[in-house]
Structure 1
Amino acid sequence: MATYYLFLLFLCQQTIVSGVTQLSIIEGEPISVNVCMSIEREDAVNWFKDREINTNKLIVNSANRQSGNFSMDGTSGNLVIKQVNRKDAGLYTCQVVEKAKESHCIETYDLNVYYMDSPILTSYTENYIFYCEWAEIYPDIKPDVQWIYNGEIRDTKTTKYNVITTNKTSMLMVHQVSENDFGNYACRITVETRAGNMSKTSKVGEIKHTAACSFDESSRSVRRRSLDLWLIVIVCAAISFVCIIGVLWSAVNRRNQTSEFSSSITGPENEDDLPVPLHPYISQPVIIPDVCDGMTRSTTMATIETDNMSLNWSGYDEVQS
């Protein structure tokens, strides 16, 4: 059948040859390449890889519409690639033979496939550093690098982060790590092409709570030491305060005792305040007022105690009323 379509090429009296049409696509996307002219059901369509019209280069045609990753639309005759691979880049030639008009057309397409490999993320969580590395990119230009934290793009222009980017790597360093920084990190590289923006995202790396244990423990240890120091200072201040109060209280008591002792030596200012002299064996006297014949008498009673006996004694002191 393929030989039949090629034979028709030599029988054609009119040939339409077009130039090379540039096509661009990003790897992994589908593409449909149009035929060089509108076709009828009876027309024959051949698609060749490269520019040669040769049976060895034939991919698909009206008789065989499927071959690997390539297929041909039965209605339009377009060449369809479901998922373009970087190996699919190159020249493709379309040939259409019209039986009724005894003419045919040939057109060549240059398929340009943009591609990049997914970046590789290397994490050093003990130092809170991530390395994003990429290998092959076409076109070979420096990509735009974005850092992603828990699925959201991170603003790395703040003092929280330090980013250093070269032609093939980008390093992210996280400063002053706290609990808000625990989670998944990834890098995304983007290149602008004629077919649109091409992006790839790395696998995730993680900063776990255990990775920052040393930092947390040291911080907590410093806080504990500070609290212990303040506690010691407060206790010492309280003890000093109590000691000062005790000293002042003792001084006041000594002063009061000294005053009482001085008063006991100098005696009372009025003779009436003098105490009644007692014999060493006489107990505390008891003064009993007695009124008789217009005279006021005070009776002094005392008890004289000796080793073997006790004597009672009373006396009267007359006082003019």
Structure 2
Amino acid sequence: MATYYLFLIFLCQQTKVSGVTQLSIIEGEPISVNVCMPIEREDAVNWFKDREINANKLIVNSANRQSGNFSMDGTSGNLVIKQVNRKDAGLYTCQVVEKAKESHCIRTYDLNVYYMDSPILTSYTENYIFYCEWAEIYPDIKPDVQWIHNGDIRDTKTAKYNVITTNKTSMLMVHQVSENDFGNYACRITVETMAGNMSKTSNVGEIKHTDACSFDESSRSVRRISLDLWLIVIVCAAISFVCIVGVLWSAVNRRRQKNNGNTYQTSEFTSSITGPDNGDDLPVPPHPYISQPVIIPDVCDGMTWSTTMATIETDNMSLTWSGYDEVRN
């Protein structure tokens, strides 16, 4: 037993232990992780998943060089992952046992995998709106969004487009659609990482000529309906205004009659015109140039009578206007 403990002490003294080495990779790319020391043919190489060195964590070694997505290069002893998956992120430990020198080395790697899914494009061509949506991205930061039309990246900072970007959605609105705007649309998201740029492109949406024509026709229909509604509103407002004015006028007249009580006034006038060559009297309409009337009051039996007289003279004719005003008290 003492010999066994002495052997463990000797082995620990001869073991080369390195710290944790950081590795970064983008999902879908291959990676080769180096062993902790150069190996000979007789040396044994073991690769473990996570930090623990035990049989349950062993993934590949010199005797079993292939296990699922993992493999080990027989010459170098490097761990090879042909296509890294996001689930492959974590700690990997390399152990090399050098039989000739009765020593071994251990090194741990921390594999950081950046990943993202392709964005999904949802199109509403009747309104010329496209929605670009993406899922969780590692690192979870807002990506740079580019809009592609028929394979070319569009400059969305012009008045032709309007882009609104939220947490995980970017909306593209196309204004004043013309024939040049027909075709396929897609969005591309890009994230800068320590391992390089990740970039994914969405599926394709399309604006067709028929979609634009149908939308224009529906817009014209909506405008016609709006004009008809405005016309109805204007007519109803005019009718309401006339009714209100009539009601107010009627109320004013009723109030006047109420204030006057039983007093009323009647007027009768006769007028005649005498021409220079014709002695017949002709009816004369009211004239705006009648001189100031002369009122001659006459009281009889409680009634007040007055005579209004006016005379207009011209070069060839004279007008005599006489009458009376009756005022009942």
Preserved CA contact (<8 Å) 2:268 2:324: no
Preserved CA contact (<8 Å) 2:127 2:215: no
Preserved CA contact (<8 Å) 2:147 2:188: yes
Preserved CA contact (<8 Å) 1:268 1:274: no
Preserved CA contact (<8 Å) 1:9 1:104: no
Aligned-residue offset at 1:235: 34
Tell me the C-alpha RMSD between the 2 structures.
Answer: 16.3
Q: Distance in 2 between matches of 1:191 and 1:310?
A: 106
Greater Cα shift, 283-292 or 160-169:
283-292
3-state SS of the aligned residue for 2:273?
A: helix
Give deviations 1:68-117, integer Å, cap 9, x for gaps.
00000011000000000000000000000111111100000000000011
Question: How has the CA–CA distance of structure 1 residues 5 and 265 changed in structure 2, closer, same or farther, with 3 Å as cutoff?
Answer: farther
Preserved CA contact (<8 Å) 2:162 2:172: yes
Preserved CA contact (<8 Å) 1:5 1:44: no
Preserved CA contact (<8 Å) 1:282 1:305: no
Question: How has the CA–CA distance of structure 1 residues 275 and 227 changed in structure 2, closer, same or farther, with 3 Å as cutoff?
Answer: closer
Preserved CA contact (<8 Å) 1:2 1:55: no
Q: Distance in 1 between matches of 2:303 and 2:275?
A: 30
Preserved CA contact (<8 Å) 1:17 1:107: yes
Q: Distance in 1 between matches of 2:14 and 2:288?
A: 165
Aligned-residue offset at 1:222: 15
Aligned-residue offset at 1:233: 32
User: How many residues get paired?
Assistant: 321
3-state SS of the aligned residue for 1:110?
A: strand
Question: How has the CA–CA distance of structure 1 residues 89 and 67 changed in structure 2, closer, same or farther, with 3 Å as cutoff?
Answer: same
Partner of 1:262: 270
Structure 1 moving runs of 4+ over 4 Å: 1-13, 215-321
3-state SS of the aligned residue for 1:138?
A: coil
Preserved CA contact (<8 Å) 2:98 2:104: yes
Question: How has the CA–CA distance of structure 1 residues 2 and 222 changed in structure 2, closer, same or farther, with 3 Å as cutoff?
Answer: farther
Preserved CA contact (<8 Å) 2:270 2:323: no
Question: How has the CA–CA distance of structure 1 residues 296 and 220 changed in structure 2, closer, same or farther, with 3 Å as cutoff?
Answer: closer
Aligned-residue offset at 1:149: 0.7
Q: Distance in 1 between matches of 2:320 and 2:191?
A: 128
Give deviations 1:284-307, integer Å, cap 9, x for gaps.
999999999999999999999999
3-state SS of the aligned residue for 2:298?
A: strand
Aligned-residue offset at 1:151: 1.2
**Larger of the two Rg values belongs to structure:** 1
Aligned-residue offset at 1:132: 0.4
Paired-residue identity, %: 93
Question: How has the CA–CA distance of structure 1 residues 7 and 224 changed in structure 2, closer, same or farther, with 3 Å as cutoff?
Answer: farther
Q: Distance in 1 between matches of 2:137 and 2:96?
A: 36
Preserved CA contact (<8 Å) 1:62 1:74: yes
Preserved CA contact (<8 Å) 1:12 1:102: no
Preserved CA contact (<8 Å) 2:43 2:99: yes
Aligned-residue offset at 1:7: 12
3-state SS of the aligned residue for 1:5?
A: helix
Aligned-residue offset at 1:228: 22
Preserved CA contact (<8 Å) 1:285 1:301: yes
Q: Distance in 2 between matches of 1:134 and 1:315?
A: 99
Q: Distance in 1 between matches of 2:103 and 2:137?
A: 43
Say if 2:311 is the partner of 1:311: no
Q: TM-score, normalised by structure 2?
A: 0.63
Query: Unpaired segments of 5 or more residues in structure 2?
Result: 258-265
Preserved CA contact (<8 Å) 1:13 1:102: no
Q: Distance in 1 between matches of 2:133 and 2:308?
A: 119
Greater Cα shift, 245-254 or 290-299:
290-299
Aligned-residue offset at 1:214: 2.9
Q: Distance in 2 between matches of 1:287 and 1:49?
A: 128
3-state SS of the aligned residue for 2:269?
A: helix
Question: How has the CA–CA distance of structure 1 residues 266 and 256 changed in structure 2, closer, same or farther, with 3 Å as cutoff?
Answer: farther
Preserved CA contact (<8 Å) 1:290 1:297: yes
Greater Cα shift, 282-291 or 174-183:
282-291
Q: Distance in 2 between matches of 1:294 and 1:47?
A: 137
Query: Unpaired segments of 5 or more residues in structure 1?
Result: none
Aligned-residue offset at 1:272: 60
Aligned-residue offset at 1:213: 1.1
Question: How has the CA–CA distance of structure 1 residues 261 and 189 changed in structure 2, closer, same or farther, with 3 Å as cutoff?
Answer: same
Q: How does 1:85-96 map to 2 (within 5 A)?
A: 85-96=85-96
3-state SS of the aligned residue for 1:318?
A: strand
Aligned-residue offset at 1:275: 60
Give deviations 1:198-243, integer Å, cap 9, x for gaps.
0111100111111101356689999999999999999999999999
Greater Cα shift, 111-120 or 280-289:
280-289
Q: Distance in 1 between matches of 2:2 and 2:60?
A: 10
Question: How has the CA–CA distance of structure 1 residues 164 and 254 changed in structure 2, closer, same or farther, with 3 Å as cutoff?
Answer: closer
Give deviations 1:135-189, integer Å, cap 9, x for gaps.
1100010100000111111111111000011121100000000111111100010
Question: How has the CA–CA distance of structure 1 residues 294 and 171 changed in structure 2, closer, same or farther, with 3 Å as cutoff?
Answer: closer
Q: Distance in 2 between matches of 1:268 and 1:202?
A: 106
Aligned-residue offset at 1:246: 52
3-state SS of the aligned residue for 1:264?
A: strand
Say if 2:283 is the partner of 1:271: no
